[in-house]
Amino acid sequence: MAPLSCAPSLHYIKANQEKLAVLTAIKKTPSFPSSTDIKTLEMASEATTMMKPSFDINKLSYQIFSILESKFLFGFDDPNLLATGNPLEAPVKPAARFPKPSSAGKVRILSIDAGNAVIAAVALARLEASLAEQCGDSTARIADFFDLAAGSGAGGVLAAMLFTCAPDGRPLFSADEALRVVSKNQRKFSSAIRKTIFCRSSGIYHRIFGESTLRDTIKPVLIPCYDLATGAPFVFSRADAVEADAFDFSIRDVCAATCTEKKTVEILSVDGQSRIRAIGGSIAMRNPTATAITHVLNNKLEFPLANNVEDLLVVSLGSSNSSPTELFNIAGENAAEMVDQAVAMAFRQNGPMATSYVRIQATFLGSRGMSPAAAEKEILSQRSVDSMLFRGRKVSDRTNGERLEWFCRELIAEHNRRKGCSVSTVMIKPTVTPRISTATAPAPAVASL
C-alpha cells in the first residue's frame, strides 16, 4: 500500500502555532471567528495600555494569555467568550483539571530555539555542571532534571542528543559532550540532508543517533517542522510515537526534517504508512516554548497535575542574532521574541528572579574556530534581556550565567522535593510494544563526530 500523507498528530494539531499573541497573524488565521472579534481584541489591547498603574497587571496578563491560548491555539470553541462587554473579564473555557495535592510540584520544561545552537549548548553545559555539583552526583544529566524538552532546528538536534536513550538506559550525551559536537558540526546540521528518503544516510545524524526512534527518548520530546503535504506545522512527539508506529520516526530523520531550510526532506514513519514532506522547524516555529507549555497543560495523561503556568518551571534558550542581510532569520527571530513576550506575560513577570520562566538570549559573535570555553565566557557574561508587559524589552541587571545559577537552584529544590513525595507530578507513557532493533547500537564516541 502506498504511504499516506501524514496529518499533524491529534494531540498537537492545534498546539503547534508559533504566532502566539500576534494580532496581525491572528487576522490571517482562517479558524479565527470574525473581524468583529479581531477588533474587540485590538480595542482591548489598546485600552490596557492606557490603564492606571493601580490596575492588577498580573491578572490582566494571565487573562490575555488565556484568551489568546483558547482562541488561537485551540480553535474557537466557545462563541460566548468574546461576546461580553469587557473581553478581558470573559470566562475562559479551561481544560479538565485534576485536584492538585499541596505536595505536588512543578513540571520542568526545557525549550531550545532554532538557529545557532551554540548558545543553548553553552548554557546547558553550565547548567548541567552546576546541577551535578549541587546534588553531589557527577553522573547527573540534563534529562534527570527536566520532564519535557522541545527544540526547533538545531535546537531540536541538541534536545534529541540530551534525551535519547543509550543502551545503558542513560542519556546518549552529556551536555558538555553535546556542546563539543555542536561546536564542531554546526554547519553540518544544515547540510546533512539526504537527497531522497530511500538513501541510507552515512552523515552526521546517522552517526549520532543510529537506528533510534522517537520511542527511544528518555523523556517526552517535541520537535517541529513544516509539512508541505498538509500546509501546516507538524510536531514530532514521543507521546504519539508510543501510541502508534504511524507517528514514530527515526530520530535521524526527525533531525533532518527540523533542520532543513533550503531543501524539502521527505521522510517515512517506521511502519512506512505516514509520509512527511518537511521544511525546517524555524519556519514552523522558531521558538517552541508556547507549544511545550500548551502540550503540558493539555496532556493530562502524562501531566495530570499541571493546571496552569504556576505549575510549571520553564527555561527557554534562544539563538544568536542574525546579520542585517539575513532577512529570513530576522523574521524568525522576531516571531521568537513575540512568543517570549506572550509567555513572559502569562508567567506574570515582575522581575528576572520573581518568575518560574527564564529566557536566555545572547549575541554570539565568536569565530568558527572559537573553543567551547571561550564561547561559554562570552555568552554567559552577557546581561540577559527581559520581556516586560506592554513595555517592550529591557536589559536586566543580571547576566545569563547568574540567571542559570538561580534556575539551577530551583531545579535542585524541585528534584529534592520529589524524592520524599508520594505524589507523582509526571507519569511518562511507557513504550507498550518496544522494538528490539532500536537503541541497541553503542553510543558514538564524541571524538569521532
Neighbouring C-beta atoms of residue 199, cutoff 10 Å: 8
The Cα–Cα gap between 186 and 154 comes to 8
* Residues 15 and 294 sit within 8 Å (Cβ to Cβ): yes
b/e burial code for range 392-431 (CB count within 10 A of at least 16 → b): eeeebebbbbbbbbebbebbbebbeebeeeeeebbebbeb
SS3 169: coil
How far is C-alpha 324 from the geometric centre of its chain's CA atoms? Answer: 26
The Cα–Cα gap between 386 and 31 comes to 32
- CB half-sphere exposure, 295, CA atoms < 13 A: 33
Q: What is the dihedral of CA 254, 260, 265, 270, to 10 degrees?
A: -10
Which residue matches cell numbers 507538524?
Answer: 234
Distances (CA, A) of 233 to 26, 194, 228, 257: 16, 21, 9, 12
> DSSP letters of 214-278?
GGGBSS-EEEEEEETTTTEEEEEEHHHHTT-GGG--BHHHHHHHHH-SSS-EEEE-TTS-EEEEE
SS3 107: strand
Which helix or strand (DSSP H or E) is residue 112 part of?
Answer: strand 107-112
**8-state DSSP, 351:** S
Q: Which of 70, 111, 130, 152 is catalytic?
A: 152
To the query of whether residue 5 is one of the catalytic residues in this protein, the response is no
The Cα–Cα gap between 349 and 347 comes to 6
* Residues 191 and 183 sit within 8 Å (Cβ to Cβ): no
What the block records as the C-alpha cell of 324 is: 542585517
The Cα–Cα gap between 138 and 237 comes to 30
Catalytic residue set? 152
